[in-house]
Structure formats: C-alpha cells, structure tokens
Amino acid sequence: MSDIARSTASDGVPSGRAKPHGTTLGSLAGKSAIFLILIALLAIFAVIQPVFLRAANLLDILEAVSVTALLGLGITVSLAVGGFDLSVGSTAAMGVMTAAYAQVVWGWGAVPTVLLVLGVGIGIGLFNSLLIIVLRVPDLLATLGTLFLVGGLQLIPSAGNSISTGMVFADGSEADGVFSPTFLALGRLRLWGLVPLPVIILGIVAVLLWVLMERLRWGRAIYAVGGNERAAHLAGAPTARLRVFAYVLSGLLSSLGGILLAARVGRGDIMTGGSLLQDSFAAALIGFAVLNLRRPNILGTVIGAVLVGVLLNGLTMLNAPYYTQDFIKGAVLVGSLALTYRLGRDRR
Amino acid sequence: MTVAAIRAQAVSKSFGSNLVLDSVSLSIAPGEVVALMGANGAGKSTLVKILAGVQPADSGVIEIGGQALRLASPAQAQAAGIVSVHQSVADAGVSALSVAENLVLDEICGARLPLFLSPRRIRRRAAEIAGKTGLSVDLSQPLAALSLAERQLVAIARAFAGRPKLLILDEPTASLSALEAERLFGLVERVKASGIAVLFISHKLADLRRIADRAIVLRHGRVQGEFTRPLDLAAATRAMIGRQVVSTVRAQNAHTSAPSLTLSGVQLREHGPGINLDLFPGEITVVTGPLGAGKSSLLEVLFGLRPPAAGRITLGSKPWTPRGPADAIAAGVFMAGEDRWRTSLAPHETLGADLAGTIALPHLKNWSHALGFLGFGRELAAAQTAIRRLGIVCRGPRDRLDHLSGGNQQKVVVARWQARPARLLLLDEPFQGVDLGARHDLIASLRAMDPSAAILIATSDVEEALEAADRILVLRDRGIAAEYRPGQEDFLGRLTNLETLVAGAAD
C-alpha cells in the first residue's frame, strides 16, 4: 500500500522537488559565509606557516575540538527541543573524575568504567528532566543548579584533589589502581597511525545525529517541540518524552566527552571542566550561522567547533599569546551571529 | 445644529487593486454613540486605522470640531483628540503596575504630573478618574490581577481621562460575557454623558440595540445603510449580511446514516447540564455562544485534552476515552485549535515549520518510510494538493507561513487536517483573522470533504456560524441552550433571536 502511495506521489507531482526559492546572491553569501571564512583562514595560515596544512596538524585540530564538539552536539539537541543545558561542562568533568576514581581507586577495568561513566551521564540527564519536566523548574535555572551540584559533587570523593595512581588519602592509604591501557587507547589511539580515535567517534556520533535530526521523523518532532510545544502536543507529538530524550542524550554525550578527556590526559584532573561549557555553547551558536539556518543544527555545530579550533591552532602557530584565546572565540561567535541575523533580515 | 465632533468625508483607501474603502462619509456629534457595523473584511478596521492615524487615507477629508486635519501618525491623531481602545489585552496597560498607576499612566509619561509623585497623589488622581467613569475595581491591585473585561474597563477609563473628542472602541464586547458587557455599556454611557463622541465597532446586534444612538453599516467598503433609533434590526441585519447568508445555505441533510459520535449526558463541569448530541457524517455542526459558554471545552473533551466531568461518549460503536491528542489523531479525530500561532504553527526558523512541513507534522508516522525516514515525496505532494484545492496564495510548498496572509495561514492549518481522512474534524474559531474570501474558500473546502467525516466548528461569531453550518447549537453555561437550522422559515427573524442568545443579553 505505501509503495503504491509513494509512487503516485512522485508521479503525480512532477514539480514536487521545486527548488527552494530565495537563492539570491545575498542568501548564497549568507549560506556559505562561514565556509568562506573557514577557507580563508586555512589559506592565510597555510601561507604564513606551511606546516599548518599538513594532515597531521589538521587532525590535531580535529582531535582538539572533538570533546567540545561532542558536548556541543548535546547542547544542539537540547536547544532544538526548546531547552537549555548548562550542565554539560560539569557532566563531562564528572565523567573524568568518575573514570579516574573507578580505575585508580577501585581498580576497575575499561569496559565497566565506560559503562559506569555513561550511566552517570544518563543519570544526570534524567535528573535534569526531573527538575525541568516533572517539577517544571525553568530549564536555564534547573541546569544551572545541576552545573553547581555536579561540579561540586565530583570534587567530594577525592577531597578536592586530582586523582592519579599513587595518590594518598587522608587515612594514609594509597590508591594503587592504574588507568587501563584499553581505556587510555580511547583518547590516544591513532588509527592507521594517523587518525585519532576521538575524531572517529565524533564523526560517527555526528552522522547518526544528523540523520536523526534532519532525516527521521523524530527529528522533526524534536524541532517542532522546540518551535511551539503546545502546537507539537496538539499535533500528537509525545512532547514530554522528546524533552527527556534531549536532556538524557545531552548528558550521555557529555559523559562520553568526559571519557575521551580522561583517556587523553590519563588522570582525574580537577581542572578539566574549565572552559568546556563556554566552548561547546559557542560551537552550537556559531552553528546557527552555518548554512544561515538560524536554528540549532548538527552540521553547523561541528563546523562551528572546527572553525574555533582552526583559529586557535593557527594563531598559536603564529605565537599569539594563550590569554587572547577567549577574546578570539568571543569575536568569532559575535561576528557569525551578527552576520547571520543581518543577512537573514535582508532576505525578506 | 451643533458642530460635529468628527466628520469624515469621502474617505477612500485601496491596497493595490483592492478598493477597501469606497468614498465613506460619516459624522458623529458630541455625546453621540455611533455603532460601526459590518462583516469581517467590510472595511471597519481600515476606517478605524485611518481615523487613528495608523494608516493614511488615499483621499478624503477628516475634520475634528470643524477643522480639517492631516492624520499622519497615531501621535497626531491623539493630539487632535482621537483615542482608540483595542480589544487586545497587550495594548491595555502595564500588567505589573497597579490599576491606579495605569489610570494616570498617560499623565506620568506625558510629564503632565510632577517628576516626584507621591503614591497618595497618584491614588487621588486615579480615584478622581474612576469616580467620573464609575469604574468600580480595586485601584490598588496590579492590573495583571484583573480579568480581561476589567482590564478593558480600565483602558477605557484611562482613555477617558485624556478628555478626547472621539473615543473609538474596537470590538470591545468581542470576548465579554453579558454581565461584563453591561458594565462596559455603563461606562460608555458616562463617557457619552460627558460630551465625548464614541465610535463603537461591533458586529453584534445586541450591542447595537443596547448602546447605539445610530448605526452605520459597512459592506464591501461602502456605507450600506444608516439606521437611527428606533433601530430596525432586521433591516440592519440584511444590510450587514443578509444576502450572503441566504446564498450559502445548503440543502438539509437527512440523517440516514448512523451518527459518527454520540454524547450522552456529557457534563463539561461538575454538576453542569448534561449535553446530549449526535454528530453525523457529512454534516457541519457549529457550536456558538459567548466566551466561557464551553465551546472550547467541548472540543477539548472530544480531542482528549481533558476528560468530561460526567457522561458517555461513543465514537462509531465504541466508547471514546482518548488520553491525549496522539490517541485522538490515531483514531481519526482531528482538531485545529483556536489562535493558529499559539496552537498550530511554529516560528519560521524551526525545521519543518514551512508550508509542507506544517501540513505533514501530525501525519509523519503515516507518511514516513521504514525506520522512520521522512517521506519528502508524500509531504510535498500533500502540500501541492492543498495549495491547489484551497487556492493557497504562496510561492510554493516550502514557503514561509509568516509571509502568508492570515487567511492563507488558516488554509494551511485546515489543510493539515484534511490531508488524511478524518472521522471527526474539530475546528476551534477557524475563521479568526480570516478575510471574507478565504472564509468562503475554507467553508467550500469543508463542504467538499469526504462525507464520512463529521465536522464540529466552534465560533463566537453568529455570522460565521450561519455561513458554515448545517446546524447551529447555541451553548450557554456549558449546556445546549438552543438549536437552529439555517434554511428554516422566518430565518432573519430567528437570526435576531440567535444574536441575542449568543450575546447573552437578558431581554
């Protein structure tokens, strides 16, 4: 039945794939602006510092942004459903400390550790859902609360210290576990001696999420909830379940980011949370400008993260001081948002 | 003869090739209440906008107190003494401030009061205004605590405080109960007694009978008739809508088939009246009645948004107890809610908020391929069909909805629920903000639907009810107060009764 319907649909409407209108010069410029900037940056850095364009360096950039991008993808989905998740950075940091504690203190292996950390991420997502969907705390406030709660909780088991093999507890006992080599490989292995595993993981996650959000009906429903929750509900969408899904996914991806970080660093560093939240939000928001969509979108977030990575890597090569980094990220974010919304208005 | 407070002479206005106002003239004496009547799209709101300085007229003269004016902006109109009060709450003051502060808001903002205001002074001035207008609400509570009707009273009292020459009230009774409307009329009488000219826009006959000294009926941008006291209601009705009504009535359906949906003893609130009702396939039933009569509640119960307080509902031959919209949609019970931007549409940046995506949203489960991959072909085909069938004016199936006119937006909303066969189609105020032409198209599309669907429309507008309905039910206090069939004999006479019933007037 559905086959027949499908064929009549495509036969009956020859102009069905009408090209989207508004392909004026302005909108074309808007759609490709971020790509043009990215190419221009690559060209400039390549001219000044030929090493920049080497495959190894480009892959280093991707590796450097993989965690930010993963968190950014979680934020993207929560933004798409009309929510806001400020707890991603804390969740990732929690993941780092949990992974370290499980292996160094409890002596766990790689597989149970990974499962535990992912479980913690899911738990944090469920906790956010409880606050936001059941108790109806506004999302911004709820996840800000979780940010502090989880950010504080991760410090307690190790009494505020970083976790590494040989650390001494208050009672004099010594932690004698080690990071499992399998676990460390998650952050350090390079396939074919070249491509870092985190980049592969990011690629797989990004492709799966892109298909979900842009090509599957659940993605449509998620965006519909974000656009007008009441309308989505009245159109039959399971709005509460979709919102829970978004927060759980965000928690899951954040804890995955934590795993990759812990595996790269090889210890439970209490400073890892640092700028993760800002960086991943910046990636998701720059993503609004990619393709000039003005909505959270998967491809945009990845490109946004890469753009920031390219810029920081290139400027570091040109000996720009480290303390200018935040300023540069801010300039990219503000610039791309201004560009998108300005061009969008011209299109009317 | 006294000088008219306001006189408009041969005012014309056209949008593109569409002549909206065709040489309209009117004058209002000080202390006179003139009702401006007409169907949606008759040109009422355009005339009001011109008088209020929101839009310029193409030609014509407007005089205040015998002096010709150029009204290029709302501020100029206000300075000339023309103040208008809209029905929308958004315009009606600052929610967070107290009623007293709202009453003197213009004086605060207009620097007519000293910079440092003691609360006592505000209260005194506000009490003075309230006293003059007979406004009886607690002045110290915040505006947000007031009902919609009371906010409207406050807005009128505030306008009155500025001592205007002409007060324009735009559909002030549209969402009021009979009791609330009566308070409003009391206020208008005070305004009138103080020598202010009032232009009262409405298409309710009950309003006209209660408050107007004179009625001017607009149709298709022209003054169709002018009626002075004693008002000939039947003639005014004919001038306003008469011909249209007669022309669109469809032959009565014989109820040969079994009902699609049966309500027995359904109560919309605890211990409310029981509603018994059969809805038949192929029949358009319209429920009408004042705000709060239970029209929307009835639709919400049928769509599974809330359970009835008591009673039984059967769909086909099975009990109907949907747990939510998803249940209802799966069973072929569809609903388009009131106020499309709140209940049906999403901002244009949203993925899937374009024309085709909007139509497809509730049908994605049925139109998707294996594994949930979207069926873009089905989606576009459905949109093309809708565009053709309803005559939606747009640039294509991927057009943005916020670029369409209200009528075309509403066509998309209705087309969404015509895209798959329905057993019961529920439409809540489907003609709100829809021009006359689009309304005709919408009704024609409903009539052209598969006769296996029963259609239930809720509207507070009698004229819309008359045009769309095979059968009209008047709801009052959550029970059925009367039933009408257009096409019955002595129809225009009954129409007046119907207006009165719907407006809830006691006489």
Q: DSSP letters along B120-153, please?
A: HHHHHHHHHHHHHHT--S-TTSBGGGS-HHHHHH
Could you tell me which chain B residue has the CA closest to the CA of A228?
A: B346
**Could you confirm whether domain B6-247 is CATH 3.40.50.300?**
yes
**What is the residue extent of each domain of chain B?**
6-247, 250-486
On whether any CB of chain B is under 8 Å from the CB of A345, the answer is no
Instruction: Look at B361 and A20 and tell me if their CB atoms are within 8 Å.
Output: no
Percent of chain A past pLDDT 70, that is, above it, reads 89
Instruction: Look at B374 and A217 and tell me if their CB atoms are within 8 Å.
Output: yes
Least CB–CB distance from B374: residue in A215, A234, A293:
A215
Q: In this predicted structure, what is the pLDDT of residue A14? A: 34
Q: How far apart are CA A197 and CA A260, in angstroms?
A: 9
- A268 token code pair: 């439970």
One-character DSSP codes across A280-307: HHHHHHHHHHGGG--S--HHHHHHHHHH
Contacts of B342 in chain A (CB under 8 A): 228, 230-231
Give which of B303, B298, B313, B335 is closest to B261, Cα–Cα.
B313
Contacts of B378 in chain A (CB under 8 A): 5-6, 9
Q: How far apart are CA A212 and CA A183, in angstroms?
A: 28
Would you tell me the crossing angle of helices A197-210 and A298-317 to the nearest 10 degrees? 150
Q: How far apart are CA B474 and CA B494, in angstroms?
A: 13
Instruction: Look at B381 and A10 and tell me if their CB atoms are within 8 Å.
Output: yes
Percent of chain A past pLDDT 90, that is, above it, reads 54
Min Cα distance B326 → chain A (Å) is 4
- Residue A176 burial (CB count, 10 A): 11
Could you tell me which chain B residue has the CA closest to the CA of A6?
A: B378
Among positive and negative, which fits the CA dihedral B350, B304, B411, B439?
negative
Among B302, B345, B349, the residue to mutate for chain A (most A Cβ within 10 A): B349
One-character DSSP codes across B28-95: E-TT-EEEEE--TTSSHHHHHHHHTTSS--SEEEEEETTEEE---SHHHHHHTTEEEE-S-GGGS--T
Q: How far is CA B126 from CA B103, B161, B413, in A?
A: 6, 9, 45
Instruction: Look at B352 and A223 and tell me if their CB atoms are within 8 Å.
Output: yes
Least CB–CB distance from B380: residue in A13, A215, A218:
A13
Among A8, A11, A213, A234, the residue to mutate for chain B (most B Cβ within 10 A): A234
On whether any CB of chain B is under 8 Å from the CB of A208, the answer is no
Q: In this predicted structure, what is the pLDDT of residue A1? A: 36
The secondary structure of residue A216, as a DSSP letter, is B
Question: Are both B6-247 and B250-486 of the same fold?
Answer: yes
Question: Does residue A348 surpass a pLDDT of 50?
Answer: no
Contact B269, B311 (CB under 8 A): no
Q: How far apart are CA A96 and CA A255, in angstroms?
A: 8
B445: left (phi over 0), alpha (psi -120 to 50) or beta: alpha
Instruction: Look at B346 and A228 and tell me if their CB atoms are within 8 Å.
Output: yes
> By residue range, what is the domain housing residue A164?
25-346
Contact B397, B351 (CB under 8 A): no
Contacts of B326 in chain A (CB under 8 A): 236-238
Structure confidence by residue, pLDDT tens digits, A236-254: 999 999 999 999 999 999 9
Size of interface A-B (CB pairs under 8 A): 123
Instruction: Look at A9 and B397 and tell me if their CB atoms are within 8 Å.
Output: no
Q: Which one-letter amino acid corresponds to residue A281?
A: F
Q: In the structure, what pLDDT confidence band is assigned to residue A181 with cuts at 50, 70 and 90?
A: very high
Secondary structure element (H or E) that encloses residue B279, with its range: strand B275-279
Among B329, B351, B376, B401, the residue to mutate for chain A (most A Cβ within 10 A): B351
Place of tokens 């359906």: B253
Least CB–CB distance from A9: residue in B373, B378, B396:
B378
Least CB–CB distance from A220: residue in B329, B361, B397:
B361
Q: Which one-letter amino acid corresponds to residue A158?
A: S
On whether any CB of chain B is under 8 Å from the CB of A43, the answer is no
Whether A142 maps to a domain, the answer reads yes
Q: In this predicted structure, what is the pLDDT of residue A5? A: 36
Q: In this predicted structure, what is the pLDDT of residue A17? A: 35
Min Cα distance A239 → chain B (Å) is 10
Instruction: Look at A16 and B381 and tell me if their CB atoms are within 8 Å.
Output: yes
Phi, psi for B61 (deg, rounded to 5)? -125, 140
Q: In this predicted structure, what is the pLDDT of residue B384? A: 95
The mean pLDDT values, 10 residues at a time, for chain B of 507 residues are: 79 80 90 82 82 86 84 82 73 78 77 68 84 81 80 83 86 71 85 89 74 86 82 70 47 68 93 92 89 88 94 93 95 93 91 95 93 92 94 90 86 96 95 79 91 92 82 88 70 60 49
Question: Does residue A94 surpass a pLDDT of 80?
Answer: yes
Min Cα distance B453 → chain A (Å) is 19
Q: How far apart are CA B257 and CA B236, in angstroms?
A: 39
Structure confidence by residue, pLDDT tens digits, A43-86: 888 888 888 888 888 999 999 999 999 999 999 999 999 999 99
- A54 token code pair: 């080497």
Contacts of B364 in chain A (CB under 8 A): 217, 220-221
Q: Which 3 state secondary structure label does DSSP give A178?
A: coil
Contacts of A219 in chain B (CB under 8 A): 351
Whether A19 maps to a domain, the answer reads no
Regarding the domain delimited by B250-486, which CATH topology (the fold level of the hierarchy) does it fall under? Rossmann fold (3.40.50)
Residue B68: exposed, middle, or buried by beta-carbon count in 10 A (0-12, 13-18, 19+)?
A: exposed
Contact B418, B445 (CB under 8 A): yes
Contacts of A9 in chain B (CB under 8 A): 375, 377-378, 380-381
Whether A5 maps to a domain, the answer reads no
The secondary structure of residue B17, as a DSSP letter, is T
Phi, psi for B433 (deg, rounded to 5)? 60, 35
Q: Which 3 state secondary structure label does DSSP give B441?
A: helix
Q: In this predicted structure, what is the pLDDT of residue B258? A: 87
Q: In this predicted structure, what is the pLDDT of residue B307? A: 94
Structure confidence by residue, pLDDT tens digits, A125-139: 999 999 999 999 999
On whether any CB of chain B is under 8 Å from the CB of A232, the answer is yes
Whether A7 maps to a domain, the answer reads no
Q: Which 3 state secondary structure label does DSSP give B232?
A: coil
Whether A13 maps to a domain, the answer reads no
The more confidently predicted of residues A281 and B116 is A281
Whether A17 maps to a domain, the answer reads no
Q: In this predicted structure, what is the pLDDT of residue B305? A: 95
Among positive and negative, which fits the CA dihedral B377, B381, B382, B384?
positive
Min Cα distance A74 → chain B (Å) is 18
- A17 token code pair: 């794939």
Instruction: Look at A220 and B329 and tell me if their CB atoms are within 8 Å.
Output: no
Query: Measured between alpha carbons, how far apart are the two ends of chain A, in Å?
Result: 42
Q: How far is CA A98 from CA A93, A115, A235, A252, B468, in A?
A: 9, 11, 41, 14, 65
> Is this complex's ipTM strictly greater than 0.85?
no
Min Cα distance A8 → chain B (Å) is 9
Q: How far apart are CA B380 and CA A8, in angstroms?
A: 12
One-character DSSP codes across B111-127: T-S-SS--HHHHHHHHH
User: Which CATH number does the domain housing residue A317 bear?
Assistant: 1.10.3470
Q: Which 3 state secondary structure label does DSSP give A138?
A: coil
Least CB–CB distance from A9: residue in B357, B371, B377:
B377
Min Cα distance B141 → chain A (Å) is 27
Among A215, A220, A239, the residue to mutate for chain B (most B Cβ within 10 A): A220
Could you tell me which chain B residue has the CA closest to the CA of A348?
A: B403
Find out whether the peptide bond into B281 is cis, omega within 30 degrees of 0: no
On whether any CB of chain B is under 8 Å from the CB of A347, the answer is no
Could you tell me which chain B residue has the CA closest to the CA of A293?
A: B349
Contacts of A4 in chain B (CB under 8 A): none
- Give the list of residues 6+ apart from residue A233 with CB closer than 8 angstroms, or none: A239, B324, B325
Q: In this predicted structure, what is the pLDDT of residue A4? A: 37
Give which of A325, A326, A308 is closest to A316, Cα–Cα.
A325
Q: How far apart are CA A103 and CA A165, in angstroms?
A: 9
Instruction: Look at B374 and A235 and tell me if their CB atoms are within 8 Å.
Output: no
Q: In this predicted structure, what is the pLDDT of residue A27? A: 62
On whether any CB of chain B is under 8 Å from the CB of A216, the answer is yes
Could you tell me which chain B residue has the CA closest to the CA of A225?
A: B346
Question: Does residue A104 surpass a pLDDT of 80?
Answer: yes
Question: Does residue A333 surpass a pLDDT of 80?
Answer: yes
Q: Which one-letter amino acid corresponds to residue B98?
A: S
Q: In the structure, what pLDDT confidence band is assigned to residue A267 with cuts at 50, 70 and 90?
A: confident
Q: How far apart are CA B419 and CA B463, in angstroms?
A: 27
**B33-37 vs B214-219, strand pairing mode:** parallel
Contact A102, A234 (CB under 8 A): no
Min Cα distance A251 → chain B (Å) is 23
Beta bridge partners of B150: none
Question: Does residue A7 surpass a pLDDT of 60?
Answer: no
Q: Which 3 state secondary structure label does DSSP give B298?
A: helix
Contact B202, B42 (CB under 8 A): no
Contacts of A230 in chain B (CB under 8 A): 342-343
Q: In this predicted structure, what is the pLDDT of residue A174? A: 81
